[in-house]
Amino acid sequence: MTESHGTDVLIDVTSLISAEDYLLSQNRHTRPRDPFARQCFVEIIQSLIFMSHVYVSHPLRYAPVPEDFGQRPPLLRSLMAADLLAPLQLDATQQAAARALEHRAIRDLQGANGIKSMARFVDQALAIDQSAAGRQDSLSERLRAWGAFQHREVKIATGHHRERIPTRDGVEDDEFGTWSRAAALLLADALDTIAEPGDGPYVMATLARGMKYRARAEACQVAYQSHPLRRDFSLTFDLTRRGATDAAVLDLIRAVRGIHESLADAAGTEESHRVRLLQLELPLLGGRLWTAQETGTLPDPDWIALVVSRIREYRDRAAELRQAITECITDEDQMRFARDIDGVTRHLLERLGLRRVELSPLEQELVSSVASVTQAAPGVPKVSGLWLSARTIGKQRTFTGAQPYQRFLYREFLDAWKRAGR
């Protein structure tokens, strides 16, 4: 990389592995084996739609090429082939900066806070489970399920993890690996509650590697979107981007997701299932890019290729929205974007009949006149909801004059709402 580009983001191979498990489970009509599969799929889809460029880091190499990542996961290779994802390649200056940041991270890990943070991570998982007794899908159970999935499908699988880290235990032979092996010995009893037998160093290295990726992202001035497991162990989304923090960029994306929240609040319990289905129908919210009838009709490699082609098409469609987010630099820009999103929300609520709107005097007269006629004429059905019909004829209905990305959002949410009601 030679320069920073807008809302560039770095993701990790672990997240892609989880997302791929969700894709394959859909095609096979089975439940995902990775407990973080759905969450990672949602986050990666949103990054591919909203972010200007998406990169993936290699655990060892500073300037990798696609072949350095191995044959698996196929989703990674397919995204690279479609130019949706690129290896993070650091130039000499960035490599020097990354090494310095990695060395600082190692010092932090080797200090008292390193072991304490890891111990706290495990203890909190167990504490949360105890405070939520009786609930399914507890945190420690998810950690154990993730560890079993990683051991079976990634660590010992041919053409997978060992292609990237060719060591006996799957832990890199660098300072991060040395710390991970030593820390696993100190926390052996605690790790036994979440890791497969003998996989303590592997789990420790997986978590600590997030600090390595964060250092490389900082050296390249891009954001780092880590796997969910790494988020309690490594600070994320706190880098600067052309004067705006990554947190501000995420706020813009949350504003888009806020449209869904507004619809949910307005719809209430009567439409709760439809609102939830809307989320599954809309890629902007991390929803699927396929129909139920398409699942199970293709071999897994072809299925992944199909979904990646849909991601490519949808990313192209969302270009104006992505550009609008990239151009939000100042607080004023962000306020304007939020105002525009509020406009989309308001139009949707009116169009879908989820919010009563103030009518103009002419509209009030029209509705009152028609209502009085229907009440006075025997046998004529009473007209209801004319305020919505009157309001959505013309400008409000077509969203004329709005920004292109506003019209895009409006159409996407409206179409998804229709599909969710079938």
Q: Give the mean model confidence (pLDDT) for residues 308-319.
A: 92
| pLDDT(240) > 50 | no
Residue 61 has a pLDDT of: 94
Closest CA to 392 of 349, 334, 421: 349
Task: Determine what percent of the chain is predicted with pLDDT higher than 70.
Answer: 74
- pLDDT tens for residues 143-160? 788 888 888 888 888 888
| pLDDT(365) > 70 | no
- pLDDT tens for residues 380-401? 333 333 333 333 333 344 555 5
Kindly report the pTM of this predicted structure: 0.77
| Helix (H), strand (E) at residue 280 | helix 272-281
Residue 339 has a pLDDT of: 79
Beta bridge partners, 86, equal 55
Q: Give the mean model confidence (pLDDT) for residues 20-36.
A: 93
Q: Quick one: tokens of 293?
A: 């009838």
- pLDDT tens for residues 110-136? 876 666 666 666 665 555 444 444 444
Residue 69 has a pLDDT of: 93
Task: Determine what percent of the chain is predicted with pLDDT higher than 90.
Answer: 26
Residue 131 has a pLDDT of: 43
| pLDDT(376) > 70 | no
Residue 137 has a pLDDT of: 55
**For residue 250, what pLDDT band results from cuts at 50, 70 and 90?**
low
**In 3-state terms, what secondary structure has residue 224?**
strand
Backbone angles phi, psi at 329, to 5 degrees: -105, -50
Q: Name the least confident of 174-188, 202-216, 228-242, 408-422.
A: 228-242
Strand ranges, E, within 97-204: none
Cβ count within 10 A of residue 370: 14
| pLDDT(234) > 90 | no
- pLDDT tens for residues 340-350? 888 888 877 77
Closest CA to 331 of 243, 221, 418, 422: 243
Q: What is the mean pLDDT of the chain?
A: 77
Residue 59 has a pLDDT of: 93
Check residues 306 and 210 and name the one with the higher pLDDT.
306
Residue 146 has a pLDDT of: 86
Check residues 224 and 4 and name the one with the higher pLDDT.
224
- pLDDT tens for residues 209-228? 988 998 999 999 988 888 88
- pLDDT tens for residues 410-419? 888 888 888 8
Q: Name the least confident of 302-311, 353-362, 364-373.
A: 364-373
- Sheet of strand 9-11, all strands in order from the earlier edge strand to the far edge: 86-87, 54-56, 9-11, 223-224
| pLDDT(304) > 70 | yes
Which sequence spans correspond to the domains of the chain?
A: 9-242, 249-287+330-359+404-420
Q: Quick one: tokens of 87?
A: 């290896």
Instruction: Name, in order, each residue with C-beta under 8 angstroms of 126's C-beta and a sequence gap of 6 or more.
Output: 140, 193
Cβ count within 10 A of residue 162: 16
